[in-house]
Amino acid sequence: MKIIKRSGVESVFDRAKIENAVKKANITVEEDERLSDGEVKDIALDIEERCGRMDRAMDVETIQDWVEADIMKHGKYTVAKHYITYRYERSIVRQANTTDKQILSLLNFENEEVKQENSNKNPTVNSVQRDYMAGEVSKDITKRFLLPDDIVEAHEKGLIHFHDADYFAQHMHNCCLVNLEDMLQNGTVISEVMIEKPHSFSTACNIATQAIAQIASSQYGGQSITLSHLAPFVQISRDKYRKEVRKEFTELGITVDDETVNKAAEMRVKAEIVQGVQMIQYQVITLMTTNGQAPFVTIFMYLDEVPEGQTRDDLAAIIEEMLKQRIQGVKNEKGVFITPAFPKLIYALDEDNVREGSKYWYLTKLAAKCTAKRMVPDYISAKVMRELKGGDVYTCMGCRSFLTPDRFTDKGVPNIAKAKNYQKGKHKYYGRFNQGVVTLNLVDIACSSGKDMEKFWKVFDERLEICRRALMIRHERLKGTASDVAPILWQNGALARLEKGEKIDKLLYDGYSTISLGYAGLCECVRYMTGHSHTDPEATPFALEVMRYLNDACAKWKAETNIDFSIYGTPLESTTYKFARCLQTRFGVIEGVTDKNYITNSYHVHVTEEIDAFDKLSFESQFQALSPGGAISYVEVPDMQQNIEGVLAVMQYIYDNIMYAELNTKSDYCQVCGYDGEIVIVKEDGKLLWECPNCGNRDQSKMNVARRTCGYIGTQFWNQGRTQEIMDRVMHL
Q: Give me the pLDDT at residue 134, please.
A: 73
If pLDDT is split at 50, 70 and 90, which confidence band does 53 have? confident
Q: Is the pLDDT of residue 84 over 90?
A: no
Report the range of poorest mean pLDDT among 190-199, 292-301, 345-354: 292-301
Residue 334 near residue 311 (C-beta atoms within 8 A): no
Residue 59: partners with Cβ closer than 8 Å, 6 or more residues away: 3, 4, 6, 581
Average pLDDT over residues 527-547: 98
The predicted structure's pLDDT at residue 120? 53
Crossing angle of helices 453-478 and 442-449, rounded to 10°: 150
Weakest-pLDDT range from 287-296, 359-368, 416-425, 435-444? 287-296
**Helix, strand or coil, per DSSP, at residue 241:** helix
Q: Which residue has the higher pLDDT, 24 or 137?
A: 24
The pLDDT of residue 630: 95
Lowest-confidence region among 532-546, 595-609, 702-716:
702-716
Over residues 183-207, mean pLDDT: 96
Lowest mean pLDDT among 36-45, 107-116, 456-465: 107-116
pLDDT of 584 strictly over 90: yes
* 154 Cβ contact partners less than 8 Å away, ≥ 6 residues apart: 160, 463, 466, 470
Q: How far is CA 726 from CA 159, 274, 598, 610, 733, in A?
A: 24, 36, 10, 15, 16
Q: Which residue has the higher pLDDT, 601 or 9?
A: 601
Residue 88 CA to residue 112 CA, distance in Å, equals 25
pTM: 0.85
Same fold, 147-174+435-647 and 176-388: yes
pLDDT band at 8 (very low <50, low <70, confident <90, very high): low
Interval 206-261: pLDDT, tens? 999 999 999 998 999 999 999 999 999 999 999 999 999 999 999 999 999 999 99
Quick check: 83 pLDDT over 60? Answer: yes
Residue 678: pLDDT over 80: yes
Choice among 51-55, 119-123, 520-524, 568-572 with the minimum mean pLDDT: 119-123
pLDDT for 291 equals 56
Phi, psi of 415 (to 5 degrees): -75, 75
Angstrom CA distances, 109 to 114, 115, 537, stand at 9, 8, 49
Angle between helices 575-587 and 60-73 (to 10 degrees): 0
* Each residue's pLDDT tens digit, 589-624: 999 999 999 999 999 999 999 999 999 999 999 999
CA 709/CA 694 separation, integer angstroms: 24
pLDDT of residue 126: 66
**Model confidence band, residue 323 (pLDDT cutoffs 50, 70, 90):** very high
Rounded to an integer, what distance in angstroms lies between the CA atom of residue 231 and that of residue 317? 9
For the chain, what is the mean pLDDT? 91
Span 618-650, pLDDT tens digits: 999 999 999 999 999 999 999 899 999 999 999
DSSP secondary structure letter of residue 142: I
CA dihedral (157, 163, 167, 169) positive or negative: negative
Give the CATH fold of the 176-388 domain: Anaerobic Ribonucleotide-triphosphate Reductase Large Chain (3.20.70)
pLDDT at position 341 is 83
Question: Which pLDDT score is estimated for 532?
Answer: 98
Q: Which DSSP helix (H) or strand (E) runs through 432?
A: none
Per-residue pLDDT averaged across 684-692, rounded? 90
CA gap 137, 130 in Å, rounded: 11
Task: Name the more confident of 691 and 123.
Answer: 691
Residues β-bridged to residue 188: 195
Catalytic residue positions?
Answer: 174-175, 397, 399, 401, 434, 568, 573, 711
- The Cα–Cα gap between 575 and 224 comes to 24
List pLDDT tens digits, range 285-320: 877 555 556 688 999 999 999 999 999 999 999 999
* pLDDT above 90 for 180: yes
- Over residues 52-58, the mean pLDDT reads 78
pLDDT tens-digit map of 554-572: 999 999 999 999 999 998 8
Q: Average of pLDDT values for 127-154?
A: 83
DSSP states of 322-384 as a string?
HHHHHHH-EE-TTS-EE--S-SEEEEEE-TTTSSTTSTTHHHHHHHHHHHHHHS--EEEEHHH
Domain ranges (residues) in the chain: 2-96, 147-174+435-647, 176-388, 666-733
pLDDT value at residue 586:
93
Q: Specify the higher pLDDT residue, 656 or 16.
A: 656
Fold exhibited by the domain 147-174+435-647: Anaerobic Ribonucleotide-triphosphate Reductase Large Chain (3.20.70)
Q: Count the helix, strand and coil residues of the chain and give each as a percent rounded to the nearest 5.
A: 50, 15, 40
| Percentage of the chain modeled with pLDDT above 90 | 71
